[in-house]
Amino acid sequence: MNIEIGSHEAKTKLPELLRGVQLGNRYTITLRGQAIADLIPSGLAQKADVAAGVAHMQKLMMSYPPMPGIDTKALIGDGRD
């Protein structure tokens, strides 16, 4: 569950918010109505970074044209010797 909370309220209720995060809640902290930060369990942030890295690598790989005449499977097999 994602809950929006103002920065002043987040400051005054931080211990309560941290207990909520332990229970699985996610908070978006806002400043004058604009989202400025997300308070989420630490494992989720790491998974998001990995997913973003994989997506970036896939986009990079797709941006290069295929190379005719190169047998990728053979190259992979050569690397395993």
Interacting residues of 3 by C-beta distance below 8 A, sequence separation 6+: 20, 25, 26, 27, 28
**Using 50, 70 and 90 to split pLDDT, how confident is the model at 61?**
confident
| Residues 2-55 pLDDT 10s | 899 999 999 999 999 999 999 989 999 999 999 999 998 887 667 777 888 889
CA end-to-end distance (rounded Å), the chain: 49
Domain 2-66 in CATH: superfamily?
A: YefM-like domain (3.40.1620.10)
Confidence check: pLDDT of 81 > 70: no
Any idea where the domains of the chain sit in the sequence?
2-66
pTM assigned to the model: 0.54
Confidence check: pLDDT of 80 > 80: no
3-state secondary structure string across 51-76:
HHHHHHHHHHHHHCCCCCCCCHHHHH
CA distance 69 to 22: 54
